[in-house]
Amino acid sequence: MGDAAALLVRAAAPERGHLWRGIAFLMLAAGLEALGPLAGKALIDTYLVPRNADLPAMFGLLAGALVAGNVASWLRYLQLVRLAGLAMRSVQRVREEVYAHVLRLPMRFFDHAITGQLVSRVTNDTEAVKALYVQVLFVMLDSLIVLAGAMVAMLWLDWRLMLIVATLAPAVGLIVYVYQRLSAPAVARTRELRSDLNAQMAESIAGMPVLQASNAAERFEQRFAALNEAHFASRQVELRANAWLLRPVLDLLNVLLLAAVIWAFGARGNGAALGAVEVGILYAFMSYMARVVEPLIQITMQFSQLQQAMVGAARVHALLKETETPVAGETGRVRQGEIEIEDLTFAYQPGHDVLHGLALRIPAGSFHGIVGHTGSGKTTLLSLLLRFYPAPPGSICIDNVPLEAIGEDHFRASVGLVPQDPFLLAASARENIAMGRPLTDAQVEAAARAAQAHDFIVRLERGYGTPLGEGGARLSVGQKQLLAIARALAGEPRILLLDEATAHIDSETEQVVQRALADLRGKVTIVAIAHRLSTVRDADRIVVLNHGRIAELGTHSELMAIEAGLYQRLYLLQQLEGEDAADAV
């Protein structure tokens, strides 16, 4: 409840004026509508039953009722436009806010996040805000005002009869309480299951090649069907609670109440014919009773929607409460691109250090390779250099400025990344290189040339404008990698980090990448993780990591000279594998 309210307040914050105006129109319209039966009563009691046909007065009364009705309709229109617009804009705002927030969450969050569930929060759950407005403001508030107006009018007409009708209030309270107890767990579960369905869908699409190759379609189908069945069962519980408790019980109460009022009316007259005044009251009373029962039915029915909306709002709110990566408010700058690492110890989980007291100086413009067994901490080191995870303050400096003291935009512009999986957008080659940065065609082309990607791009049928298909489906793995290098270079970084950029490409393309890197020497500081040692053979220095420690450090020939050294063993092993592969061809 608190979360839902917090989200509502947050969503409406920029346009409180609309909100208050909308509510004011709503109250005025409902108030005017409440006058209708009173006009009817006056007409019956004063003119019709006593057969007192004062035509001008009757006409005046009818005209007044007509004007009031029209004004009420106009106010309803204004209210709807105000509040519906507000609700739509709020969803739009909250959705954008949630998406922007997700983009700024720390990498640590994504270690545990499940894509489909996250998508579901940004797309479906944000709709909860609209439902909250529609349910809470439009229907519930409206119904409450109509209800209050009717009760006041009834109090004025006959307070004893009003008390009979008022017994509905505790009855409705009880119904709503029982309903909530029964359906709340089912509603929350339904939401969770729905996002699980999304999650499985997203996972299946992402892993389609593996899924089909391992002939897992049937197993996945069964898993999906089981989830879907659970979703249906959970909806069923909700529906049963709705069907039993909301409309039918109140309809029954309504009939009982009507009987009680008529009985009370009859009992008071002691069987004598009703007087003229009483016919008017009875008419007005019956009209008001409908106005009491209908809003109560509406309010209770809305509880089911409200409950779903609250669960959605709570999920959105929980996501918004995740702490964003703190943005360095500092203004430190990268100039040459010298990296200095000192006593760097890091753990993902406390007590499980992955890096132990690393110390390393990488001069500006140099080319450093990082190699080591799987799990030795290479990617972790790169992630820390990229500020994906926070390194202990002061343990990494660039140009003598601590990493955390460099302003975010400047840092991202100064440090380029070529990841193992190039991640291409379903857009043109040009857009994939520019990535939304305001780069000229000449800059894009220069980056592509530096990455040795220009030649294959111009051979595509529309050159730089060629759409590459989702995930760059139209390119070979090596071409994607070259494009990713071009993208990293287009920002003219001082430091270029490569994460196994040659892991999946053939030796020929590897040589192209090597040429590209060689051209960059002296201009950009390059740190490249490489499983394939030939990629970093020519590096100024190679860092050999072993269980989170620097085991060896030197040029290729220096490391090869260490008898039974780690690097030497790795290198010889790869050479043997290479020969085996060549023999096999």
Ligand X SMILES: Nc1ncnc2c1ncn2[C@@H]1O[C@H](COP(=O)(O)OP(=O)(O)OP(=O)(O)O)[C@@H](O)[C@H]1O
The site for ligand X (CB under 6 A) is made up of: 111, 348, 354, 372, 374-380
Strand order of the β-sheet with 415-418 is 415-418, 495-499, 525-529, 367-372, 541-546, 549-554
Q: Do the Cβ atoms of 438 and 492 come closer than 8 Å?
A: no
Q: What region, left, alpha or beta, does residue 347 occupy, with left being phi > 0 and alpha being psi -120 to 50 degrees?
A: beta
Which is nearer to ligand X, 350 or 438 (by Cβ)?
Answer: 350
Phi, psi of 503 (to 5 degrees): -60, -40
The least distance separating ligand X from the CB of residue 412, rounded to whole angstroms, comes to: 21
Which is nearer to ligand X, 59 or 348 (by Cβ)?
Answer: 348
Query: Which two structure tokens, joined as six digits, stand for 11?
Result: 């969503």
Burial code (b: 16+ CB inside 10 Å, e: under 16) for 421-455 equals ebebeebbbbbbbbeeeebeeebbbbbbbbbbbbe
Helical segments of 246-275, H only? 247-269
Q: What region, left, alpha or beta, does residue 463 occupy, with left being phi > 0 and alpha being psi -120 to 50 degrees?
A: left
Which is nearer to ligand X, 247 or 356 (by Cβ)?
Answer: 356
Which is nearer to ligand X, 161 or 418 (by Cβ)?
Answer: 418
Which is nearer to ligand X, 302 or 379 (by Cβ)?
Answer: 379
The least distance separating ligand X from the CB of residue 389, rounded to whole angstroms, comes to: 8
The least distance separating ligand X from the CB of residue 107, rounded to whole angstroms, comes to: 7
Rounded to whole angstroms, how far apart are CA atoms 555 and 179? Answer: 73
Contacts of 97 (CB under 8 A, 6+ apart): 320
Which is nearer to ligand X, 37 or 548 (by Cβ)?
Answer: 548
The least distance separating ligand X from the CB of residue 378, rounded to whole angstroms, comes to: 4
The least distance separating ligand X from the CB of residue 374, rounded to whole angstroms, comes to: 3
Which is nearer to ligand X, 115 or 287 (by Cβ)?
Answer: 115
Which is nearer to ligand X, 98 or 382 (by Cβ)?
Answer: 382
Query: Which two structure tokens, joined as six digits, stand for 524?
Result: 């950009």
Which is nearer to ligand X, 111 or 461 (by Cβ)?
Answer: 111
Secondary structure class of 105 (helix, strand, coil): coil
Which is nearer to ligand X, 380 or 428 (by Cβ)?
Answer: 380
The least distance separating ligand X from the CB of residue 370, rounded to whole angstroms, comes to: 8
Rounded to whole angstroms, how far apart are CA atoms 386 and 406? Answer: 12
Measured torsion, CA atoms of residues 125, 131, 132, 134, in degrees rounded to the nearest 10: 160
The least distance separating ligand X from the CB of residue 513, rounded to whole angstroms, comes to: 18
The least distance separating ligand X from the CB of residue 352, rounded to whole angstroms, comes to: 7
Strand order of the β-sheet with 353-362 is 353-362, 339-347, 396-398, 401-402
Q: Do the Cβ atoms of 50 and 293 come closer than 8 Å?
A: no
The least distance separating ligand X from the CB of residue 375, rounded to whole angstroms, comes to: 4
How open is the CA angle 203-204-205, to the nearest 5 degrees?
Answer: 95
The least distance separating ligand X from the CB of residue 345, rounded to whole angstroms, comes to: 13
Query: Which two structure tokens, joined as six digits, stand for 337?
Result: 């691109």
